[in-house]
Amino acid sequence: MLPIERQHKIKELLHKHHTMKISELSKELGVSEMTIHRDLNPLIDDGAVIKTFGGVSIAQKQNEHKPDTKDCIFCGRTTNDRLAYRLILTNNRKETACCAHCGLLRHRQLGDDVVQAICPDFFRQTTLSAQLVFYVMDASVDVGCCHPQVLTFERREDADKFVTGFGGTIYHFAEAQETIFQKMNGHEGCSNSHH
Ligand SMILES: [Zn+2]
Ligand SMILES: [Zn+2]
């Protein structure tokens, strides 16, 4: 089978199963995992396929041809693809947040209702699982969305470079989610009573 045929087959399989492990694709297509990775790279680069925890899944938005004029589920701002944080929920529901700031807060609210969360790399056009990216908070560059700003990067070295140029702090998913929540909720309320 030619690479292009395998890529077509991979997309078909992902449409059917939604998320698959590299090992499952390798078994299904009868080629090595290395070959699967090679086949996947261009699909990931043009946004057709998303890297997830331990596997890959098909990008949802490829099927929708309407312009993205949805408002943020959390703050009501108009969303744009460059920053949007998307939540795929149980029962095939979907929500879009304007940026990782709102996305992380909404994700925290929904908890186990979230099947998958995806966000873009700030430098490249790839779409990534929110659990895998690096979050840069409080950088000095203004991207015109919510404050404190939260930007997402696929690669640690990109996040490092960005922070070198524009300041800010790098977090992993869980830390980023807690940090933004604490920042937005301050220390008011019942937390004082613990002293
Ligand atoms: Zn928002
Ligand atoms: Zn925002």
What is the spatial distance between Cα 136 and Cα 159, in angstroms, rounded to a whole number? Answer: 7
pLDDT of residue 61: 56
CA distances from 44 to 36, 38, 155, 167, 178 (A): 12, 10, 14, 29, 29
Range of the domain at 114: 85-185
Same domain, 175 and 115: yes
Cα(61) to centroid(ligand 1), Å: 19
Cβ within 8 Å of residue 90, ≥6 positions away:
113, 115
Cα(137) to centroid(ligand 2), Å: 13
Contact (CB, 8 A) for 155 and 133: no
Report yes or no on 135 lying in a domain. Answer: yes
Cα(25) to centroid(ligand 1), Å: 36
Q: Which residues surround ligand 2, an ion (CB under 5 A)?
A: 98-99, 101-102, 145-146
Report yes or no on 166 lying in a domain. Answer: yes
Cα(184) to centroid(ligand 1), Å: 13
Mind listing the pLDDT tens digit of every residue in the chain (195 residues)?
A: 899 999 999 999 998 888 999 999 999 999 999 999 999 999 988 888 998 888 899 886 544 445 445 899 999 999 988 899 999 999 889 999 999 999 999 999 999 999 999 999 998 879 999 999 999 999 999 999 999 999 999 999 999 999 999 999 999 999 999 999 999 987 544 444 344
Cα(29) to centroid(ligand 1), Å: 41
Ligand nearest to the CA of 76: 1
Contact (CB, 8 A) for 114 and 91: no
Same domain, 89 and 179: yes
65 class by beta-carbon count within 10 Å (0-12 exposed, 13-18 middle, 19+ buried): exposed
Cα(45) to centroid(ligand 1), Å: 26
Token readout for 121 is 């790399």
Taking alpha carbons only, the member of 20, 64, 10 closest to residue 86 is: 64
How many alpha carbons fall within 13 Å on the CB side of residue 169?
A: 9
Number of domains composing the chain: 2
Same domain, 93 and 51: no
- Rounded to a whole number of angstroms, the distance between the first and last alpha carbons of the chain is 67
Token readout for 126 is 């790839």
**Helix, strand, or coil (residue 136):** strand
The 10 Å Cβ neighbour count of residue 9 is 15
Q: Is the dihedral of CA 98, 104, 106, 110 positive or negative?
A: positive
Distance of CA 157 to the CA centre of its chain: 18
Ligand nearest to the CA of 72: 1
Ligand nearest to the CA of 144: 2
Quote the pTM value: 0.67
Same domain, 128 and 181: yes
| CATH number (domain holding residue 40) | 1.10.10.10
Same domain, 103 and 55: no
Cα(81) to centroid(ligand 2), Å: 12
What is the spatial distance between Cα 140 and Cα 143, in angstroms, rounded to a whole number? Answer: 9
pLDDT of residue 65: 47
